[in-house]
Amino acid sequence: MQSDTNGVNVKRILVLHGPNLNLLGTREPEVYGRMTLGDINELLRMRAVEAGVDAIDFLQSNYEGELVEAIQKARGRYDFILLNAGALTHYSIALRDAIAAVPVPVIEIHLSNIHRREEFRHTSVIAPVVMGQICGFGVDSYIAALDIAIRKIQTDTK
């Protein structure tokens, strides 16, 4: 939790979207729904404003290294990271190590229930180093993660 120059707590949340999430709305809508990534970001932005979050920033990348760098740069800048790592969830040791190295809590998010899908999707290599995982509720997975992050920030500052 950062403070501004007046000593007021500043709440900042970073939302990271991994590979292929830029295709939401058209990519396998029976699995991922019809909402676009822009629609999801706007819902999160509106919810964050309602809750008094000072800043919510978004990054989508198809490149593992760009997501790793965003996590590393989050130190001291963000109070929480919401991460849908997409396919990187299942094999990116680099993402796992970045999360473990940076003292910013992370909530892992998935639109679909990864445990009810193909066998290779059942394992999350990042799960052991995140605060928790929310999956299977479509866009509500993102909303739930945001609400939890907001409550945690508010609780930690009291």
Confidence of residue 7 (pLDDT cuts 50, 70, 90): very low
Annotated catalytic residues are 32, 110
pLDDT at 143: 97
The contacts of residue 117 (CB under 8 Å, 6+ apart) are none
133, containing H or E segment? strand 132-135
Confidence of residue 26 (pLDDT cuts 50, 70, 90): confident
Q: Distance (Å, rounded) from C-alpha 21 to C-alpha 74?
A: 21
For residue 29, is pLDDT > 90?
no
Smallest CA-to-CA distance from 77 within 146, 11, 6, 143 is with 11
Q: Return the exposure string of 129-138: e unless at least 16 CB atoms fall within 10 Å of the residue's CB, then b.
A: bbeebbbebb
pLDDT in tens, 43-57: 999 999 999 999 999
Pick from 14-28, 70-84, 95-109: least confident: 14-28
The CA-atom distances, in angstroms, between 54 and each of 2, 70, 120, 150 are 11, 19, 38, 11
Read off the pTM.
0.89
CATH number for the domain formed by residue range(s) 2-156: 3.40.50.9100
Which amino acid is it at 6? N
Smallest CA-to-CA distance from 12 within 156, 155, 153 is with 153
Average pLDDT of the chain? 89
